[in-house]
């Protein structure tokens, strides 16, 4: 298996993760990632928007051997807009769009000849874009967010276990519910 294919297989794991999360229902998607953090829904919309942005401005352009049109966006504004969009979509639609966007990136890169994939693609403004580095960078981004999601799932599972046995924590003392 080539390095390109290994990276694409790992990059595809996000789609599977979203498929599995979509089975958990709306309530799960509205849970915060932590105190003062985005909800699962908002974070997923953030991932979707970044995939769409890179697909349109970099991956498609590189595939057509055109100049990459990435601009450095205002990250806070970009992410805030994504979070708002995520709140407006039902889970099934957000999940479907997220999976579709990721699969479009993977399919386009997989179909590229290796010389195009490995090429240094010029960017507007004089920068350079490398698809392999993009995949590596966004795999780190994926791992960061999937770790947050795993923590939410663990928290929910712990709360469900505590609830099932009728125990709650009150300060430093455990109380059993009748």
| Token output for 164 | 């099932």
Cα distance between residue 65 and residue 113, in whole Å: 11
Token digits of residue 57: 């401005």
Average pLDDT for 43-56: 97
pLDDT(177) > 50: no
What pLDDT is stored for residue 164 in this prediction? 59
E-only strand ranges, the chain: 121-122, 128-129, 167-170, 173-176
What pLDDT shows up at residue 175? 46
Q: Distance between CA 178 and CA 176 in Å, rounded? A: 6
65-90 tens-digit pLDDT: 899 999 888 999 999 999 999 999 99
pLDDT at 178 over 50: no
- Residue 157: per-residue pLDDT: 83
| Alpha-carbon Rg for the chain in angstroms | 20
Tell me how crowded residue 175 is: count the other CB atoms within 10 A of its CB: 10
Report pTM.
0.87
> Please, what is the average pLDDT of the chain?
90
Domains of the chain: 3-141 (1.20.120.450)
Please state whether beta strands 128-129 and 121-122 pair in parallel, antiparallel, or not at all (unpaired).
Answer: antiparallel
What angle is formed at CA 19 by the lines to CA 16 and CA 24, rounded to 5 degrees? 130
Cβ–Cβ under 8 Å, residues 101 and 59? no
């Amino acid at each position: 298996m080539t390095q390109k294919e290994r990276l694409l297989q790992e990059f595809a794991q996000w789609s599977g993760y979203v498929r599995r999360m979509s089975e958990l229902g709306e309530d799960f998607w509205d849970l915060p990632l932590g105190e003062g953090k985005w909800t699962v829904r908002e974070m997923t919309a953030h991932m979707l928007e970044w995939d769409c942005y890179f697909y349109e401005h970099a991956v498609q352009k590189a595939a057509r051997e055109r100049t990459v049109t990435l601009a450095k966006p205002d990250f806070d504004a970009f992410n805030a807009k994504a979070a708002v969009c995520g709140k407006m979509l039902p889970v099934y639609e957000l999940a479907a769009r997220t999976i579709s966007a990721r699969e479009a990136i993977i399919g386009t890169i997989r179909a590229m000849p290796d010389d195009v994939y490995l090429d240094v693609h010029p960017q507007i403004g004089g920068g350079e874009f490398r698809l392999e580095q993009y995949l590596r960078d966004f795999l780190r981004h994926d791992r960061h967010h999937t770790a947050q999601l795993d923590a939410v799932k663990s928290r929910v599972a712990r709360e469900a276990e505590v609830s099932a046995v009728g125990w709650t924590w009150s300060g430093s003392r455990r109380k059993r519910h009748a």
